[in-house]
Amino acid sequence: MAQQHLDPTDPLSGHLGPSPTGDALAGYLRSQATEFLRALRQHRESGGTAAGAEEPADAARALRRSVRRISASLHTFRPLLDADWSEALRPELAWLSGTLGMEHAYESRLERLLLALHRLSGAVFPAQPRAADVSAGSRAVGTAPVGTAPAPAQDRGSLTVGAAKAGALLDRQLTLARTRAHSTALQALGSSRFHAVADNIAVLASEVPLVQKAVATDLHPMATAAQERLEDAVTALPLVTAGHPYNAEALVHGLSPDPSPHPQDAPWHQVRLLLRLHRYAREVLTPAVDVRLLTAGQCLDRHRDASEAAAAAASAARTPRIAPATAYALGVLHADQRHEVEAARFAFQQCWQKQAVST
């Protein structure tokens, strides 16, 4: 659909050809709404059957994908859309996106942690087949999660036992969380609240509630504002530190008593959201994909994933009555994921620096 386009000409500043107006926004919203309806149909057709195990996950992903884009457009191009309609719909989209995303988040968090434990404990760690199993993505929305007994800890020394027990503990905790998220998502998809959102989006697929002036309004100033919000937030990041490898910043206060000891992550999470808003705003203006923006976004996704995985390891370590070897493995795992956080910041800095030079 969108073609790869490496030309650094920035559609937000280049202004080649006639400027897109509210018409372009309406077209974009209609196509995203259509995507949503197609994904919803696909999800309902395949829902719950074992045969199409991959399909519900794909459909759920497609649903989230279109919901994020519609929500972002409502935010960035707010002045061009009917205010009452837009203000009513946005929190509903946020609720839907959050609800549908939780199961996948727990699933990929567990996969990330088990793969890390496998890497840390060498080839003998029994959890490896579990990780591969989880990564097959066979447990997403629409398929019933399969409860599995933890692999027995092999007596190869307390550290490996610790890694195996840590893996089993994380598996129990995150599988339980995922199962709950799965039920919540299924309930949500059957609720009247969801049907109201779906009806709203069905209307959007044919008729976008633009304000009268929208048709003649240039979209660029609003898209540029989104870009500037991103750039301001990036400027406030500690990029100089992040650009020095092994700065040991991400693990600072890793043993602090503060239950959320990493407020340092918040500005990066914020930049991740602003980058996504900028990317979606850009999509409205041009079909060209900015590969550098995608890469920068992937760095920040990795940052967020590692940050949450590290928190899950720390949280599992607070489980009462765990063995010291289990706690030790969780400590190693926590630090490993915090270094992944630091590595992701470094990668973002490198990517962003290139971007700044080439545009």
Instruction: List contacts with a second copy (CB under 8 A).
Output: 117, 119-122, 124-125, 156-160, 162-163, 245-246, 248, 251-259, 261, 314, 317-318, 322-336, 339-340, 342-343, 346-347
In the bound state with a second copy, the residue whose beta carbon lies nearer, of 15 and 318, is: 318
Alpha-carbon distance of 300 to 274, in angstroms, equals: 11
In the bound state with a second copy, the residue whose beta carbon lies nearer, of 94 and 248, is: 248
Shortest Cβ 340–a second copy spacing (Å) = 8
Shortest Cβ 242–a second copy spacing (Å) = 11
Shortest Cβ 154–a second copy spacing (Å) = 9
Alpha-carbon distance of 312 to 306, in angstroms, equals: 10
Shortest Cβ 70–a second copy spacing (Å) = 36
Shortest Cβ 317–a second copy spacing (Å) = 5
In the bound state with a second copy, the residue whose beta carbon lies nearer, of 332 and 351, is: 332
In the bound state with a second copy, the residue whose beta carbon lies nearer, of 41 and 119, is: 119
In the bound state with a second copy, the residue whose beta carbon lies nearer, of 55 and 111, is: 111
Burial (CB count within 10 angstroms: exposed 0-12, middle 13-18, buried 19+), residue 357: exposed
Tokens of 31: 């196509």
Residue carrying the six token digits 């974009």: 28
Tell me which long-range contacts 291-298 makes (C-beta under 8 A, separation of at least 24).
Answer: 291/4, 291/6, 292/351, 292/354, 292/355, 292/358, 293/355, 295/351, 296/348, 296/351, 296/352, 296/355, 297/272
In the bound state with a second copy, the residue whose beta carbon lies nearer, of 37 and 335, is: 335
Quote the crossing angle between the two packed helices 192-204 and 158-190, to the nearest 10°: 70
Shortest Cβ 230–a second copy spacing (Å) = 25
Residue 187 CA from chain centroid, whole number:
22
